[in-house]
Structure 1
Amino acid sequence: MTTFRAGTPDEHADVIVRPWHSAAGASAFVRRRGFLARAGQVVAEPAESGRGVLLNVGLGPADTLTPAVLREAAAVATRALGPARTVRMDLAVPVGGRLAPDDRVHAVAEGARLALYRYDAYRSSQGLPPPAEVRITGADPGALAEALAAADGTCLARDLVNAPACELTPTVFADRVAAAAAEAGLAHTVHREAELERLGLAGLAAVGRGSSEPPRYVECVYEPDGPAALTVALIGKGVTFDSGGLSLKPSGELHTMKADMGGAAAVVGAVLALPRLGLPLRVRAHLPLAENMPDGGALRVGDVVRHRDGTSTEVTHTDNEGRVLLADVLSLASEPGRADVVIDVATLTSAAGHALGTRTGAVFSPDDALADLLVEAGQRAGESLWRLPLLAHERRHLRSAVADRVNCSHRRGDSVQAALFLADFVTPGTRWAHLDVAAPVWNDESAYGEVPHGATGFGVRTLLEALRALAADVQN
């Protein structure tokens, strides 16, 4: 386990990372090797002390420096260590430019911490050990602690998503959340099958009944030390494996379906980071957990689900289970007096990825200010979000001949139709946003920046930035 701490430069560190806005100050040795201080460029040379390595990292011009550039530079430098992993590393926070000092610390620390992430739980050989210590020189300790809380939450979400579905069942997921919440001092409740009916969570029960692994519903609450400025509900879709149910997915799509709980993982990573951040708001996490499997008791095409709000849904496609599972939880979480703001995070539709690509999540909300806040939070966090419209005319695709709505009818515009479906269950007057993160929670490509191959932990840092902004809005 790598220790991160703030400190002053140590000339005896095994690896010293030195950032540059211009190559003019770099050594002739480095310049001869083509170092131009371009953003993300790395050239190594022997350290001035005669031992260890000096990594020269380009940042580009100071007036164009952004958190994203800094985050990637720190990540690239950390990855450039190669086999020299059992080291003490000095990573300097650059000065100058328009970025606030705390923003620079956040970006550098997050980039380094996230780039060091490995998922080796099932490897017989654990690979190269991480650095023993990373010293962030020039960092304010408070800013460093905040950055590490967000990065650790992201790594926790990655661990959950990377875990094989045979081991991270709904029960195991619920138990892990309960144990972590207890350790963090958060109130929590795990609801079992028999309690789902009492709570009116018919959609969750229906989705989960096709699996031998029973569904679970977990509530977890963060309370600030002082008065709460407002209450925010975070809802995470937690389908620990999605076979598609009786509407079975093509075999080529199944290998990443353990990631269909990426929304729940993001909510867990965020809420467990809150005690370390001390934000002045109350956060209620809602985690509906289930497997979507095709056994003899599975939800059938044509079945009708009766929801807790008195409405009904005809199931026309069992692979569109996420919206059915989330519906009653949205109804419960947005009941009058329970939350001022509701944000759900879900790996809901492939259509969002078709529209926005593999690295960007979709934001849907009837609330312009909340949608803008989330997009801006994503920008600060280094997680790309784009707002898509809640097009009223798409509601025609939700009409049913036997119930109040269908869960699927038209592949074109499916992400919009799914968001409209969810909107039906939000109590009027509640500020609500839906994040469709099906594409960016998993990276099938090579690692880039601070993002590894596999689970990305997408959403944790955006949620934390959004919570910070919501608290600031109320206080101002």
Structure 2
Amino acid sequence: MVAEPSPDGRSIVLNVGLGPARSATAGAFRRAAVAAVRAAGPARTLRLDLALPDDSGVPAADRARAVTEGAVLGLYRYDDFRSQKSASPLREVTVATSEHGAVAEALAVCDGTCLARDLVNCPADALTPTAFAHRVQHLADTVGLSCTLHEGQALTDLGLAGLAAVSRGSHASAGYVEVDYTPPAGPPALTVGLVGKGVTFDSGGLSLKPPGEMHAMKADMGGAAAVVGVFAALPRLGLPIQVRGYLPLAENMPGGGALRVGDVVRHLDGTTTEITNTDNEGRVILADVLVRATRPGPGRVDLVIDVATLTSAAVHALGTRTGALFSPDGSLADTILTAARRAGESLCRLPLLAHERRHLRSTVADRVNCSHRHGDTVQAALFLQDFITPGTPWAHLDIAAPAYNDETPYDEVPHGGTGFAVRTLIETLRLLSAQHHGR
């Protein structure tokens, strides 16, 4: 980066490089915009000019979209609980482009990503399951989505035994939210379900986490936050498909009524799970919701993607910046991986190794929720697969590591909540819509 005065001396010109000639990608534009906004110092206005010829290989719309994302996401701050705000002095950022539609789309995606970041960063005493549910309801009312909240006895009536069981140890009541986006023009020909794990604080329950692992457990609702971020953007994007969101919300605490090791949960599909570790609660609350989303009858979706901060084991294979993707459907997996690349998020597909099912066997129930053995990330995905109605395309995103950045900021990613998966999910929906309407 090189800074120099403008010819009239009234402003500073920042020249941000994009790498070797003709090597620029959308990611390079995104990172360049981040570098520019972070180097703006005390400036109140910033103009971003895309000084690259049209034969660069990156379409003009993609350039505009990436620069907008880099600028907005690079400026993100979370200071709701600071007595003195730390917002950037920048008051106006202009992206010099004629691709106004691409900029508008990018702003919608960024707003959804920043909302997901806010939710993850919010302290657990302020974002209880009930508070989370009410925020979703308020969002739905504001942007024109349909939304239904279930609490108390209604959870049992719906057959959400796993959610009810996990929440027993907390004074905070569990909640379950379904939110629905219907396209503005005509009946949709495709319905996609998004299921997000929403454990607003995970102490581990009676299988208590070590103190050093608990400080970031307000982020254990990162999957639900990502789904909410997607729904915040959908009305502005106007995609021609229907999207249904399923959000089980709970705290996992070690109170007197807490779920015990050895307890058995009977799920909505009639099968049972022996609890061998109460800290593997995420798969337990997701199980019934996946049955509800995919079983035959009214409300069934055509395909389902669940996103969850599910296992700490994934970080040992993939590091802290990459999420794990599981799916038995090669076409759906390829679509999600393409979407992740286009969105600038890192996903790696891992195999559903059938032989790992041996570690899920129970002597008293149909399965256990934890094997205490290596391979837990794969075993968790296999556990969830049990609850998908056969014939329904399904993918599982384990985002336990990249949903919360415990290091210093990098690229457009801040410290703390990252909003990981919002951009990938939105791009996946865009690709699915194009595929379906191209038939």
TM-score tier by shorter-chain length is over 0.9
Equivalent residue for 1:89, pick from 32, 43, 46: 46
Kindly report which structure 2 residues correspond to 1:431-446, keeping only aligned pairs within 5 A, or say none: 431-446=393-408
Equivalent residue for 2:142, pick from 147, 166, 183: 183
Quote the residue 2:203 is aligned against. 243
Report the Cα distance in structure 2 between the residues aligned to 1:407 and 1:439, rounded to whole angstroms.
20
Quote the residue 2:437 is aligned against. 475
Report the Cα distance in structure 2 between the residues aligned to 1:277 and 1:130, rounded to whole angstroms.
29
Equivalent residue for 2:23, pick from 42, 64, 67: 64
Matched, 1:420 2:400: no
Quote the residue 2:241 is aligned against. 281
Kindly report which structure 2 residues correspond to 1:2-41, keeping only aligned pairs within 5 A, or say none: none
Quote the residue 2:365 is aligned against. 403
Kindly report which structure 2 residues correspond to 1:16-415, keeping only aligned pairs within 5 A, or say none: 42-84=1-43, 87-96=44-53, 97-226=56-185, 227-337=187-297, 338-415=300-377
Report the Cα distance in structure 1 between the residues aligned to 2:370 and 2:23, rounded to whole angstroms.
45
Does structure 2 conserve the Cα–Cα contact (< 8 Å) formed by 1:229 and 1:471?
A: no
- In structure 2, give the amino acid aligned to 1:454: G
Instruction: Indicate the structure (1 or 2) with the bigger Cα radius of gyration.
Output: 1
Once the two structures are superposed, residues 52-109 of structure 1 have per-residue CA deviations (whole angstroms, 9 ceiling, x without a partner) of 211110011342111111101100111111233xx12101124320011111111000
Does structure 1 conserve the Cα–Cα contact (< 8 Å) formed by 2:77 and 2:87?
A: no
Does structure 2 conserve the Cα–Cα contact (< 8 Å) formed by 1:207 and 1:299?
A: yes
Does structure 1 conserve the Cα–Cα contact (< 8 Å) formed by 2:40 and 2:46?
A: no
SS in 2 for 1:350: coil
Q: TM-score, normalised by structure 2?
A: 0.97
Does structure 2 conserve the Cα–Cα contact (< 8 Å) formed by 1:241 and 1:260?
A: yes
Kindly report which structure 2 residues correspond to 1:425-464, keeping only aligned pairs within 5 A, or say none: 425-464=387-426
- In structure 1, give the amino acid aligned to 2:269: D
Task: Give ranges in structure 1 of 5+ residues lacking alignment.
Answer: 1-41
Report the Cα distance in structure 2 between the residues aligned to 1:89 and 1:411, rounded to whole angstroms.
53
- In structure 2, give the amino acid aligned to 1:365: S
Does structure 2 conserve the Cα–Cα contact (< 8 Å) formed by 1:93 and 1:139?
A: no
SS in 1 for 2:391: coil
Report the Cα distance in structure 2 between the residues aligned to 1:369 and 1:161, rounded to whole angstroms.
31
Task: Give ranges in structure 2 of 5+ residues lacking alignment.
Answer: none
Deviation at 1:275, TM superposition (A): 0.3
Does structure 2 conserve the Cα–Cα contact (< 8 Å) formed by 1:94 and 1:104?
A: no
Which deviates more, 135-144 or 149-158?
135-144
Report the Cα distance in structure 2 between the residues aligned to 1:127 and 1:114, rounded to whole angstroms.
15
SS in 2 for 1:188: strand
Name the count of aligned residue pairs: 433
Q: TM-score, normalised by structure 1?
A: 0.90
Report the Cα distance in structure 2 between the residues aligned to 1:203 and 1:451, rounded to whole angstroms.
33
Share of identical aligned residues, percent? 66
Report the Cα distance in structure 1 between the residues aligned to 2:384 and 2:237, rounded to whole angstroms.
31
Does structure 2 conserve the Cα–Cα contact (< 8 Å) formed by 1:244 and 1:319?
A: yes
